[in-house]
Amino acid sequence: MKNIFISSTFSDLIDYRKHIEDVIKRYGDLFTGMEYFGARSISSKELCIKEIKNCDIIILIIGIRYGSKIDTVLSYTEMEYNTALSEKKKIYPFIIDSDNAKFNYSDFESNKINQEALKNFIKKIKQNYTVEKFCSPSDLATKVAIVLGKNFPKMENYSFNAFEELFDRLSKDSYEYDVYSIGANNVDRYIKLDVIQPDHECEIEMNSNFYGGGSGSNTLAVLGNLGVNVGISGIVVKDNYGNFLEKDLASFKIDTSELIKVDTSKTFTGRTTILIDNYFARTILVEPGINNEYSYYLNQYDNFNTVVNKCFQSRIIHLSSFSSESEILTQSQVITKLQKTKLVSFTPGQLYCNFGLLRIKPILERTNIIFFYKKQLETLIKELPEYEDSLRLEDKINLLFLWKKRNHLDEPLIIVVKNRNYKDSFSEKYVNVGIGRYQLESYHQSSSLSELPEHIPTMDTTGAGDSLVGGMLYGLLNCEDLKKCANYGFMTALNASKSLGGRTELYTKNELSKSLKKYFKYHINQVLD
């Protein structure tokens, strides 16, 4: 059993200390700190020195205050550091990432003499040690656990709950948007046939209508219809299809102020032709058109910084696929400019998965929530040496976490896999969720419905996956637990599949609430109100 002393200021770091205490107590080690000093017959200074001499490890946390002074000279924290140094104790220093961490204004050091003392103290620490930065209580807890795990074998398997950290990051402050999306916009057209299979000849049924499409746009439509504040950055041509898409997006209260509209006859608004059969199988034929020039026009119109600022003003940034690698680069450049406290969700689609792990790594480095169909996940991880077709889905999800670990990607991650059986389009196993950081910490499936309808009318599953994304993000925004988020996604996906078109059948907030109450026996939280 190790005796671990936490040295820091107190009032500005209470939550941080509690998170570290939780890490230490999980392994039966002793946590020592000022919280438990109580009444003693010796001075606070003598007590601190005594406790440091008796401890094995010092976790040093430097925030934004210098702290209370002893005899008007050194702060208690600096005195504790000096004592530990002279006693040759193991010291692990962690310093706040002031650019990304959130504090109350009253927490900041206002005394100019103390401000200078804090700068000098940090400088002194850096001369002796390599420091680790942190931006939130759970981020600090994870990094403390990792450092201790490298030095003390009994702690090596510790992995702080990634879902808890993402909730910790999800700001409840008021922003212009709850979700802001960057992705392709398309007009969808449908062709119905009896079955999709090789060397097959059949009659087709053409549908003369066209529908709004694009993965990210479909997701925003779900959220906008539920009353969430959403905005989009994308591109269309000033043609009939482009005008239709702009009006369609606006009908779901999606802010289209950064939808680039290009007056050109050299290309066209993106479009897809979707083949669907009687077994809910589909093939999507993509003609990207102007979507492949999004990066060019974003810079040509000098809109890049505007889009970055829009993302700064959003709680979640959602990325969906284009068709070319230049757009992958642009999306990654946007999210690398964001604070670590921002949540990034990502729907790579088959097109990005075909590029492989290395090419989309710049986006994966910063992704916190990723959505796949099972086939898309398999396409992406087939290059890994451990991959086998026979692996369980749970193990395939874990391979992506292991790849993250090998590549030193330390963001907490939720992996959502939509596993659809075409003969039985929707079941309680449709939503599969893995969560972790360097390994799969927990694995969930959406619940069995308590009252499954005798017949679920399913016409087109094209928008189902995007609607699932919208449902899950809506659950996160409403501070629901992971299981409920999966069930939200299940219900929004099920509803979207009732008609042709990715955003024809969408819930209002009241309709979703009624469905959740009927099938899962619970109500929506009211956080967004």
Token digits of residue 213: 């499409």
- Tell me how far apart the alpha carbons of residues 283 and 279 are, in angstroms, rounded to a whole number: 12
For residues 425 and 383, the model is more confident at 383
Helices (H), 87-199: 112-128, 137-151, 162-169
Q: What is the pLDDT confidence band of residue 454, given thresholds at 50, 70 and 90?
A: very low
Whether pLDDT at 96 is above 80: yes
Sheet order of strands, 90-96 included: 30-32, 3-7, 57-62, 90-96, 132-134
- In 3D space, the residue among 294, 150, 303 whose CA is nearest the CA of residue 234 turns out to be 294
User: For residues 402 and 179, which has the higher predicted lDDT (pLDDT)?
Assistant: 179
CA separation (Å) from 284 to 157, 196, 220?
43, 12, 20
Lowest mean pLDDT among 162-166, 502-506, 510-514: 162-166
Which of the residue ranges 155-169, 190-204, 253-267 has the most confident prediction, judged by mean pLDDT?
253-267
| pLDDT at residue 245, as a whole number | 97
Residues with Cβ < 8 Å from 26, sequence gap 6 or more?
158
Q: What are the phi and psi torsion angles at 384 (to 5°)?
A: -75, 140
Lowest mean pLDDT among 199-203, 244-248, 312-316, 401-405: 199-203
Radius of gyration of the chain (CA): 26
Those residues with Cβ within 8 angstroms of residue 323's Cβ, 6 or more apart along the chain or in another chain: 184, 286, 288, 291, 292, 351
The segment with the largest mean pLDDT, out of 151-155, 162-166, 319-323, is 319-323
In order, the DSSP letters of 245-261 are HHHHHHHTTEEEEEEEE
Q: How many CA atoms lie within 13 A of 22 on its CB side?
A: 14
- State the sign of the Cα–Cα–Cα–Cα dihedral 156, 161, 166, 171: negative
Neighbours of 308 (CB within 10 A): 18
- In the numeric block, which tokens belong to residue 226? 């539920």
Q: What is the pLDDT of residue 31?
A: 61
**Measured distance CA(184)–CA(181) in Å, rounded:** 10
Residue 318 pLDDT greater than 50, yes or no: yes
Q: Is the pLDDT of residue 334 over 60?
A: yes
- Whole-angstrom distance between the N-terminal and C-terminal Cα of the chain? 48
Provide the pLDDT for residue 155: 47
Mean pLDDT of 401-414: 90
Residue 406 reports pLDDT greater than 80: yes
Output the six-digit token pair for 126. Answer: 């850096």
Q: What is the pLDDT of residue 158?
A: 45
- Summarised one tens digit per residue, pLDDT across range 342-354 is 899 999 999 999 9
- pLDDT value of residue 40: 53
When pLDDT is cut at 50, 70 and 90, the band that residue 210 belongs to is confident
Please compute the mean of the pLDDT values over residues 134-157 and round it to a whole number.
71
Q: Is the pLDDT assigned to residue 280 strictly greater than 80?
A: no
Block residue for tokens 């409403």: 478
Q: Is 156 a residue whose pLDDT tops 50?
A: no
CB 179 within 8 A of CB 473: yes
Q: Using the CB atoms, write b or e for 1-32: b if 16+ within 10 Å.
A: ebebbbbbbbebbeebbebbbebbeebebebb
Strand locations in 374-528, DSSP E? 413-418, 431-436, 440-445
CA distance 261 to 164: 40
Amino acid at 185: N
Alpha-helical segments (H) within 374-481:
374-381, 393-406, 464-477
Under a CB-based contact definition with an 8 Å cutoff, are residues 509 and 515 in contact?
Answer: no
Measured between alpha carbons, how far is 418 from 371 in angstroms, rounded to an integer? 8
Contact in structure between 156 and 129 (CB atoms under 8 Å): no
